[in-house]
Amino acid sequence: MSEFTYQGEAGRQRPDPASTDRAAWDAYVYDRLNPAGEHNELWQHSGGCRAHLVVTRNTLTHVISSVAFAREAGRAHSAGRRGKGARS
Amino acid sequence: MRKAMAEYSPWWPGAPYRLAHRMKRNVPMAEYSALSLLRNALGGNRDWAPAWRKPEPKPTYDVIIVGGGGHGLATAYYLAKEHGITNVAVVEKGYLGSGNVGRNTTIVRSNYLLPDSIRFYEHSLKLWENLSHDLNYNVMFSQRGMLNLAHTPGQADDFIRRGNAMRHEGVDAEWLTPAEIGRMVPGLAIGGSARFPVVGGLMQPRGGTARHDAVAWGYARGADRRGVDIIENCEVTGFLRDGDRITGVMTTRGEIRAGKVGIAVAGSTGHVMKMAGVERLPIESHVLQAFVSESLKPFIHTVVTFGAGHLYISQSDKGGLVFGGDIDGYNTYAQRGNLPVVEEVMSEMVALFPGLARVRLLRSWGGIMDMSMDGSPIITRGPLPGMYLNCGWCYGGFKATPASGWSFAWTIAKDEPHRINAPYTLDRFHRGAVIDEKGQGATPRLH
Amino acid sequence: MAEPLSPLQPVWQPGRHGNLSGGAGVVLSETRPASIVQVAAWPGSERAVIAAIRAATGLALPDGAGGGVAAATKAAFGVAPGRFVVVDQAEGLEGELRSRIDAATGSVTGLSHGRTAIRVDGPKAEWVLSKLFAVDFGLTALPVGSGVATQHHDVLAQIQRTGAMRFDLYVFRSLSRSFWKTLCHAAEDVGYEVI
Amino acid sequence: MSPRRTADSGRIDRSRQIRFSFDGANYSGHPGDTLASALLASGVSLFGRSFKYHRPRGVMTAGIDEPNALVTVLKGDGREPNIPATMLEIYDGLTVVSQNRYPSLAFDVGAVNGLAGKLFSAGFYYKTFMGPVFGPLKGTRFWMFCEWFIRRAAGLGRAGYAADTARYERVNAFCDVLVVGAGPAGLMAARAAAEQGRRVILADLDTRLGGSANWSDETIDGMAATDWVASAIADLSGRDNVRLLPRTTVWGYYDNNTLAALERVTDHKAKPETGEPRHRSWTIRAGSVVLATGALERPLVFPGNDRPGVMLAAAAERYAVEFGVLAGERAVLFTNNDRAYRSAAALARAGARIATIVDVRDTVSAAARRLASECGAELLAGRAVVATDGRRQLSGIAVRAFDARSGTVSGDARNLAADCLLVSGGWSPALHLASQAGARPRWDSGLQAFLPPEPTQNWIAAGAVAGAYSTAEVLRQGLETGRMAAGSADEDDGGLPLAADDELDPNPAPVFEIRADGKAFVDHQHDVTADDVRLAYREGFVSVEHLKRYTTLGMATDQGKTSNVPGMAIMAAAVGKPIEEVGTTRFRPPFAPVSLGSLAAERHGHLKPERLTPMHDWHVANGATMFTAGLWFRPQIYGLPGETIEQAYVREAKAVRDGVGIVDVSTLGKIAVQGPDAAEFLDRVYTNMFSTLAVGKARYGLMLREDGFAYDDGTTWRLGETEFLMTTTTVNAGKVMQNLEYCLDVVWPDLKVHLTSVTDEWAGAALSGPKARQVLEACVTGTAVDDATLPFMGIVRGEIDGVPVTICRLSFSGELAYEVYCGAGHGTHVWETLMEAGELFGIVAYGLEALGTLRIEKGHVTGAEIDGRTTARDLHLDWMLSKKKPFIGSAMMDRDGMTGPGRLELVGVVSLDGRPLNGGAHIVESSNPAAPRDSIGHVTSVCYSPALRKYISLALVEDGKARLGTRAFVSDPVRKRFGPVELVSHHFFDPEGKRLHG
């Protein structure tokens, strides 16, 4: 068992929970970016602190170029979204 | 010489049939048989011709198949053989068969759970059973049986459900008791102190193994002999389009046009489809490692899988134990994996065969899998006009090679799927009509 | 109330075992603290939680990942962002912490029964643990007091270094008997004593 | 002492004898010997048989690159096949047998294959054995018939079926600098890095650290090379920051500078110490790596080059200098380079007679000529060996004139007597690890070798692997790379030991093959000849990968260490292109074969831990038959003597319906869900509403996946305004936890919720049956448990014999039932107290079979029905799908494919023939049992129902809801069971749920 568990593409946008836009839901649930090169993805430190990490990793070389806690990244992102909403 | 013949004399009965067959079809010298082998041996093996030509690409074909792996070559072969479409090019970025057809654990079976899967893979198995004759190339399909070990009563019921599903589709499946398994698979940790005692096993006697490279070479030679151009070292760098319509490919060896372009590049699907402007697909690319031990005298005589983990093992004719386990479980296009999976697979191996701890791992390699969102493949028209897509094979591509090529050729030739590949559309995900053998949903690493 | 039953009881064999040609390389014991509590902060309330731990135990946790502090009968260390394991040989720690940490500040979870505390102490402690965990147990990488959350295959473990040659491991109770056997097995080559 | 043993050279201990056996014959050697050196010293020349032609083979190398001399080691019942004799250290009692021969090594009937050699050319399998297209041998039968013989002829050693009882272990190591290879370059690098205070690991695959310095006649720093090695090792082993790992092969270079190494800890001992493993698997995470892996000599390809007695020149040198063994008494050297002259000279110094030196070059450097005359050897320049003679041992060779530019031989053959032919075709850097962590190796046309590629990870190459030739250059590179790896900018030459620069020409002649009549082997172990390579070319298998796959070149246990470059060179010559245009060599792990046991390490014999509930020992002590559910052990039944499983569970289930029973439910996944947003979070992940749940109440919840399919179910208890205890099914606990963590971290990072696994915190016992309340009343203090205080789905806290307990009234059996939770350490005590209190009411402990029976009678679903393909509607759980709020899966659950006709829906099945139903049986409407077809569904869970006195089951059946009340058949061809059934509602028993309320 590996200490880290791959949790798929990062940054997939989950539609608004109440949304009935089926195309958006289909895309969220089934369609993936699958680049040969830099890829933003989620890893859980499942054999340790259990936190999810947002990792930028090259799928050709496996070189990791950035790592951040997903929760912090997500909170910063949603704060940004809210901020924008407030301004507009 | 005579003594050697005596030891291997069984090949003689075949020779007359091959000879008669060749005379009837009036094919030239290239026909392989025991007789041609002998004649050439006496001539110092100087007269063997290339197994396939190395043609320059023509400007235009009726069909281009992108991908010179097992599936692409089989597609070209069946286009020519079944549909009379011979003005076909197979373009391959590297050497022929450099993808997963030469990087798998060579298992052939049709022991699936869901009816759509059983029908497709059984069609494939039937093609396998006559493939060496069909191709005039010995792909060494050895129907030594495929045995899934069950370790709990609940798992036994699951396996029997699958066996029954197969039987209701006319496919062979048998249940073996631990005692029968013990006789069939010596060295296996059956019970007693075993942490995961064997409670039984589902056997598909017609399953087995084949020589993986021979499948690529046999299809290549068969397609070539029917006029297909196989163009190696010809990497697709883009698609030619007329509006939405795909009209050909740009390659490192120039532009090539065609009325129809089939994509059969499992492992590189995301990369190639991106060139056609399709960024997102229900696929992730993962690496699956495979392993071979040092060569041993015959040790295991069937294909065996371990139900309390994820392990499948057989022995090649050369004597190496060929085995594998889970995918590494992350997106990658690098044909290499990492240590945790190596250790997991070896741990399961010695749990199953405690005597093998002293045997040594000789080689490991990785192949890139198109892991789809339900664990089943996609063989379909589209998603763009003029394009046909064959991908999403997960672990299961090798055994599917004949049926994949056969049904993809049908789809390309007739512009509609055959009954056996009709369920394997792209839009099944959106419709919720998934074919989910493992019941894991849209998490590719779990399939 | 009856004493809680140790999950290690049937496999706990006090005495010296293994290759003792160089003495016992490690001493293995179950420390059986009466209180093992997880405290978790919300983003932004980490300092308040650290302060509450200090108020409840007197242990001053440093800021930062994996930091920790160990005293004679009490210990605390970080196991994840904003999450701490706090241990006391005495009962009542969960209540103490709950009284100081409200839902707006964080959460308190009792794990006194759910985790088994195993101590590995001795000159070969790093060696033995290196056989089971992919953790750099070097003193600079893992200073005294600090902790790490890791795993040995299916067994999750939270490990605190409580001395230069001493480590306290917190493993899931249900797996602790199996883990104990694995640990003893791993210590055989250097000799071990169970106390 | 044998005539082959030198008087005094070598690093063996002549004062002690070690006795061992080979193929039943007894031999002796000395400490420090390998099996190869000891047998050579005893005059043994025949070590093994080749793979295809079963040709007699001797020893070709002195190390890990050995293709020929493979043996099987016997230890107790264990067999360890395919071990190179060159890597096997002898010990007292070592028992070794040769392999791939029948009946004996000297007389092997398989050798007849050699007579048909041309027939067995590369790829011959593909061209024949297809058999007839019709008749009894059509299809695959003929091939399988032939295969039976082929398999038995192929293969090398035989593996053992007996379990290996040896111990294996893994060690995780962390260091700043890993140095691979402890030759002069590696020793220098390790020392340089250690002096910078870095944590250093130095690993070498050989027993003795020092590499080529162990068999070198050079002086380093004014002392003999071996003395310099000794002082360097003494220095390193005195440092706390250095770990030396002899007998350790670094075999894999993985991501993040993680390297895998195998230490052979006790293979050289008759018996390991207590706790000592046979092999130790090192996983080394290194800041940076110095690859000082050296170079491997390669042979020349010429007819008869596989005869026992033909040996690599440096190997013979090593045997003479390091092991004190002469490979022959009358030796000839055949070379294309200067370096091999030094081997000849070393052999001559050790006492061998070097009769002749045959050099393919017509001009030879003055330095080399000097060495030739030192040996007293006749130098035949511009000549080549074209044949060898002898049966199982070389007796002579034939030499003809050779033009190195055109590669042609001419003139008459001259025959020379020789019992040993030293061969050198130049050197190939051992760039395996570099290639694993690098781009494409590059070809150096001067050295005629591939050099390490551009790194893709953090390593530097030093010494021979980097193309360094002289010892002085090797030492300089070692120092520089050691400092670089340690991150030091120091450029001072102070630490550099003095060594003489080499006058020999480093570049070999570009000659790989001598073409003449007869089989010339490229890959010795797999019997791939130069003609096979050319045949592959003629058939279009030109790419290096095709060459390998078609001829099996380089696929043997030595992985082509001696054959890759010659094979490529012969292909390049056939194609008419330079080698670098034909291809390159890429390497994957492992560098050398690795025991499977070492990779399993401590999990050999113990694959998975046992996960035990707090009451486990009680169950075992009270006669439970345990079975596994994932890692958990759970009671299946508590059988009485003579009872069948069915009799036991029927008795247990009946006792519950009639009185009271108790079952261990501690394995249920339990997750503490805490925080101000906990209720909101549950509303989002469950299909039903939890924010409306009152504190002190529990509710049954259902989760879907994002794709709308059913996922997991369980009850969740509200323990406080912001605290919930969620339960999951046993098998899904880990997955559900991970999924919920994902939701909080990634999907809803703003929610203030903490999740903690508390599965192990609580022992859980479910008390079920009409008398359950009476049992509680008899032992619970601190709370009432009557209907008013503890209504259905209510929760109370109290004590049982002083232990705090939480009791929730919920039911899986359909009876009046309670789940009693307490701290896990008190689990057994509370359980025993409940048993005592229940004695009066006839309480029985029941296992999973009875638990299953009770829930099947009630039509409750579990994992067999929630199988990842069913929807809430399929399972009659649509009543749980809230219409007031969105939840995970709500947007996707109504898609066509999930709602249309043809769905498999949950039904009950009653056996009409009074015979048991089986899980995994299928349902058909009508069918001929002899030719099963048209399945409409399958049986998921089965039992004999004591309440209904019938065999019943749950099943998933196509449009099952519309079929209720109809007849069908169970069809189970795999178990040969066929019989009539009725499809009924899944609510078999007490559908109104009256019993729930006592």
Dihedral, CA atoms, D143, D148, D150, D152, nearest 10 degrees?
170
Predicted pLDDT at D654:
97
Rounded alpha-carbon distances, angstroms, from residue D892 to A19, B66, B427, D843: 11, 35, 14, 46
* Whether the Cβ atoms of residue D131 and residue B14 lie closer than 8 Å to each other: yes
For residue C148, list chain A residues with Cβ-Cβ distance below 8 A. Answer: 48
Beta strand C192-194 pairing with D396-403: unpaired
- Residue B206 class from Cβ within 10 Å (0-12 exposed, 13-18 middle, 19+ buried)? buried
Would the pLDDT of B27 be above 50?
Answer: no
Answer with the residue of higher pLDDT: B145 or D130: B145
Neighbours of C (≥3 Cβ pairs closer than 8 A)? Answer: A, D
Class of domain D511-576: mainly alpha
Q: Which CATH architecture has domain D299-421?
A: 3-Layer(bba) Sandwich (3.50)
Please count the other Cβ atoms lying within 10 Å of the Cβ belonging to residue C14: 10
pLDDT of residue D295: 97
Instruction: Write out pLDDT tens, residues B294-316.
Output: 999 999 999 999 988 899 999 99
- Can you tell me the distance from the alpha carbon of B289 to that of B103, in angstroms, rounded to the nearest whole number? 9
The answer to whether residue C18 neighbours chain D at the CB level (below 8 Å) is yes
Q: What is the pLDDT of residues D719-766, one digit of tens each?
A: 999 999 999 999 999 999 999 999 999 999 999 999 999 999 999 999
Round to whole Å and give the CA distance between D690 and A66: 39
Instruction: Give residue D990's region: left, alpha or beta (phi > 0; psi -120 to 50).
Output: left
Instruction: For residue B193, name the pLDDT band (cuts at 50, 70, 90).
Output: low
* Mean pLDDT, residues B336-360 taken together: 95
Query: How does residue B34 score in pLDDT terms, banded at 50, 70 and 90?
Result: confident
Average pLDDT score, chain B: 91
The domain made up of D899-998 has a fold known as Elongation Factor Tu (Ef-tu); domain 3 (2.40.30)
Q: Give me B308's structure tokens.
A: 């309390």
- The answer to whether residue C5 is domain-embedded is no
CA D654/CA B184 separation, integer angstroms: 42
Confidence band (pLDDT; 50, 70, 90) for B19?
very low
Torsion of CA C104, C108, C109, C113, to 10 degrees: -170
pLDDT score, position B30:
60
Q: Which of D49, D77, D80, D130 to mutate to test the interface with B (most CBs of B within 10 A)?
A: D130
Over residues D142-171, the mean pLDDT reads 91
SS3 assignment, position D839: helix
Structure tokens at D570: 């012969």
Closest CA to B171 of B125, B224, B137, B221: B125
Is D763 buried (19+), middle (13-18) or exposed (0-12) by CB count in 10 A?
Answer: buried
Q: Which CATH number is associated with domain D762-852?
A: 3.30.1360.120
Taking residues D898-910, report their average pLDDT: 95
D678-701: average pLDDT? 98
* D669-757: CATH topology: Alpha-Beta Plaits (3.30.70)
Q: How far apart are CA D90 and CA D587, in angstroms?
A: 31
In a domain, C6, yes or no: no
Residues 6+ apart with CB under 8 A from D2: D41, D42, D43
Tell me: pLDDT of B21 over 60: no
Q: Where are the beta strands (DSSP E) in D801-927?
A: 803-808, 817-823, 844-845, 904-911, 922-924
Record: contact A29-D684, CB cut-off 8 A: no
Residues on chain D touching A74 (C-beta within 8 angstroms): 745-746, 749-750
Tell which B residues from 368 to 427 touch D, by Cβ distance under 8 Å: none
- Can you tell me whether residue D851 is helix, strand or coil? helix
Q: Cα–chain-centroid distance for residue D698? A: 46
Contact criterion met (CB below 8 Å) for B347 and D604: yes
> Could you give the C-alpha distances from D788 to B398, C10, D783, D784, D817, in angstroms and in order?
65, 43, 12, 9, 15
D706 touches chain A (CB under 8 A): yes
Domain check: are C28 and C55 in the same one? no
Amino acid at D287: G
Q: What would the two tokens of residue B178 be?
A: 């631990």
> Which of A44, A46, A49 should we substitute to test contact with C (largest number of C Cβ atoms within 10 Å)?
A49
Q: How far apart are CA D305 and CA D423, in angstroms?
A: 9
Name which of A18, A44, A75 is nearest D886 (Cβ-Cβ).
A18
- Top residue of D278, D611, D617 to mutate, by most chain C CBs within 10 Å, is D611
> Is 60 exceeded by the pLDDT of residue B16?
no
Q: Which among D456, D747, D750 has CB closest to A61?
A: D456
Q: Which pLDDT belongs to residue B5? A: 32
Neighbours of chain B (3+ CB pairs under 8 A): A, D
pLDDT of residue B17: 39
CB < 8 Å to C141, chain D: 174
Average pLDDT over residues D683-704: 97
Shortest CB distance from D745 goes to which of A25, A70, A78? A70
In this structure, are C123 and C190 located in the same domain? yes
Q: Which residue has the higher pLDDT, D3 or C148?
A: C148
Answer whether 0.80 is exceeded by the pTM. yes
Q: What is the pLDDT of residues A5-56, one digit of tens each?
A: 999 999 899 999 999 999 999 999 999 999 999 999 999 999 999 999 999 9
Q: Is the pLDDT of residue B2 over 50?
A: no
What is the CATH classification number for the domain harbouring C59?
Answer: 3.30.70.1520
Task: Give contacts of A69 with chain D, Cβ < 8 Å.
Answer: 745
pLDDT for the residue A11: 87
Domain at A5-87, CATH homologous superfamily: Folate-binding superfamily (3.30.2270.10)
Q: Is the residue at C13 inside a domain? A: no
D727 CA to chain C: closest CA distance, Å?
A: 15
> Cα Rg for chain D, rounded, in angstroms?
38
Cα of A1 to nearest chain B Cα, Å: 7
- Residue B76 sits at the vertex; the CA angle it makes with B71 and B81, to the nearest 5 degrees, is 120
CB burial of residue D645 (10 Å; 0-12, 13-18, 19+): middle
Structural domain boundaries of chain D? 299-421, 511-576, 669-757, 762-852, 899-998
The C-alpha angle D29, D30, D36, rounded to 5 degrees, equals 55
Give the domain range for residue C148: 18-32+115-194
Strand C155-163 and strand C147-152: pairing?
Answer: antiparallel
If asked whether residues C121 and C187 sit together in one domain, one would say: yes
pLDDT at D130: 81
E strand intervals along D221-370: 223-224, 242-245, 248-254, 258-264, 279-291, 295-297, 310-312, 330-335, 353-359
CB atoms within 10 A of CB D834: 27
Boundary-marking domain end, from C62, C78, C110: C110
Looking at the complex, does the CB of residue A48 fall below 8 Å from at least one CB of chain C?
Answer: yes
Sheet architecture: strand order including A38-44: A5-9, A38-44, A52-58, A64-69
- Which residues, in sequence order, are CB contacts of D534 under 8 Å at separation 6+? D570, D574
| Model confidence at B369: pLDDT above 60 | yes
Q: Are B119 and B168 in contact (CB under 8 A)?
A: no
How close, in Å, is residue C195 to chain D by CA atoms?
20
Helix (H) or strand (E) holding C150: strand C147-152
Look at residue B22 in the predicted model and tell me its pLDDT: 41
Query: Are D486 and D460 in contact, with CB atoms under 8 Å apart?
Result: no
Q: Do C137 and C46 fall within a single domain? A: no
Q: Which of A17, A22, A75 sits opposite D749 (nearest CB)?
A: A75
The arithmetic mean of pLDDT across residues B83-90, rounded, is 98
List the one residue out of B48, B46, B44, B43 whose CA is nearest residue B32: B48
Where residue D116 falls among pLDDT bands split at 50, 70, 90?
low
Q: What is the mean pLDDT of residues A48-68?
A: 94
- C80 plus C132 within the same structural domain: no
Interval D455-472 mean pLDDT: 95
Q: What is the pLDDT of residues D852-868, one digit of tens each?
A: 999 999 999 999 999 99
Q: Which chains touch A (3 or more CB pairs under 8 A)?
A: B, C, D
CA distances from B96 to B59, D292, D534, D578 (A): 21, 36, 19, 22
- Asked if residue D1 has pLDDT above 70, the reply is no
Residue D148 region by backbone torsions, left for phi larger than 0, else alpha for psi between -120 and 50, else beta = alpha
Residue located via tokens 């399909």: B141
D750 contacts A75? CB cut-off 8 A: yes
Name every chain A residue with its beta carbon within 8 A of the beta carbon of B430.
Answer: 22, 26, 30
Q: Which phi and psi (to 5°) does residue B358 adopt?
A: -90, -5
- Name chain D contacts of A17, Cβ cutoff 8 Å: 684, 886-887, 890-891
Last residue of a domain, one of C93, C110, C127: C110
B302 and B111 in contact (C-beta within 8 Å)?
no
> Which residues, in sequence order, are CB contacts of D865 under 8 Å at separation 6+?
D875, D906, D940, D941, D954, D956
Question: Taking residues D165-184, what's their average pLDDT?
Answer: 97
Torsion over CA of D851, D856, D862 and D865, rounded to 10 degrees? 150
What's the rounded Cα separation, in Å, for the pair C52 and D625? 48
pLDDT tens, position by position, B35-67: 777 777 777 777 788 899 999 999 999 999 999
D360 neighbors D402 (Cβ within 8 angstroms): yes
What tokens does C181 get? Answer: 């056997």
Q: Which of C110, C145, C168 is the last residue of a domain?
A: C110
Domains of chain B by residue range: 2-42, 54-447
Report the C-alpha gap between C31 and B145 in whole angstroms.
Answer: 54
Query: Is C143 in the same domain as C48?
Result: no
In the numeric block, which tokens belong to residue D313? 């020149």
Q: Tell me whether C56 touches chain D (CB under 8 Å).
A: no
Residue C62, min C-alpha distance to chain D (Å) = 22
CA distance D17 to D5: 13
Q: Give a yes or no: residue C12 inside a domain.
A: no
Beta strands in D238-350 (DSSP E): 242-245, 248-254, 258-264, 279-291, 295-297, 310-312, 330-335
- The H or E element that residue D954 is part of is strand D950-958
Q: Cβ contact (<8 Å) for D611 and C190?
A: no
Q: What is the mean pLDDT of chain D?
A: 94
- Look up the CATH number of domain B54-447: 3.50.50.60
Tell me the residue length of chain C. 195
- Residue C136 shares a structural domain with residue C190: yes
Q: Tell me whether residues B342 and D599 touch, CB distance under 8 A.
A: yes
Q: Which amino acid is at D250?
A: V
Residue B272 and residue B253: Cα distance in Å, rounded? 17
| CATH number, domain containing residue C190 | 3.30.1360.120
User: Closest approach of chain D CAs to the CA of C71, in angstroms?
Assistant: 25
Tell me how far apart the alpha carbons of residues B300 and B209 are, in angstroms, rounded to a whole number. Answer: 13
CA distance D454 to chain A (A): 13
Mean pLDDT over residues D525-554, rounded?
93
Instruction: Give CA angle at D640 (D638, D644), nearest 5°.
Output: 85
Closest by Cα among B211, B364, B209, B359 to B296:
B359
Same domain flag for C99 and C121: no
Q: Which tens digit of pLDDT belongs to each residue from C45-67? A: 999 999 999 999 999 998 777 79
